[in-house]
Amino acid sequence: MCPSCGRPLTLKSWYPRWAREAREWRIWIRRGLCRVCGRSHGLLPSFLLERRLDVVEVIGEGLRRSVGGEGLPKIAVELGRPYSTVRDWRRRHRERAGELVVELAARVVELGDEVPKLNGPVERSALLLFAGPERGGATAVEGGGHLDVHDVGHRREVAGQDHEPALERGRRGRLDAEE
Evaluate whether 46 touches 159 at the Cβ level (below 8 Å): yes
Q: How far apart are CA 67 and CA 37, in angstroms?
A: 40
State the pLDDT at residue 130.
79
Rounded to whole angstroms, what are the CA distances from 78 to 62, 70, 82, 108, 164?
A: 9, 11, 10, 33, 26
What's the pLDDT score for residue 132?
59
CA 121 to chain centre: 21
Pairwise CA distance, residues 155 & 44, whole Å? 7
Cβ-proximal residues to 49 (8 Å cutoff; 6+ apart), any chain: 56, 59, 152, 157
pLDDT in the model for residue 174:
33
pTM of the model: 0.68
**pLDDT tens per residue, the chain (179 residues)?**
888 888 889 998 999 999 999 899 999 999 999 999 888 888 899 899 888 999 999 999 999 999 999 999 999 999 999 999 999 999 999 999 999 999 988 988 888 888 888 888 899 988 888 775 444 444 333 333 333 333 333 333 333 333 333 333 333 333 333 33
The span from the CA of 123 to the CA of 20, in Å, is 24
pLDDT at position 171, please? Answer: 33
pLDDT at 160: 37
| β pairing state of 40-45 and 155-158 | parallel
Whole-number pLDDT of residue 76: 97
In the sheet that holds 155-158, the strands lie side by side as: 10-20, 24-33, 40-45, 155-158, 149-152
Mapped onto helix, strand or coil, the DSSP state of residue 166 is: helix
Residue 119: what pLDDT?
80
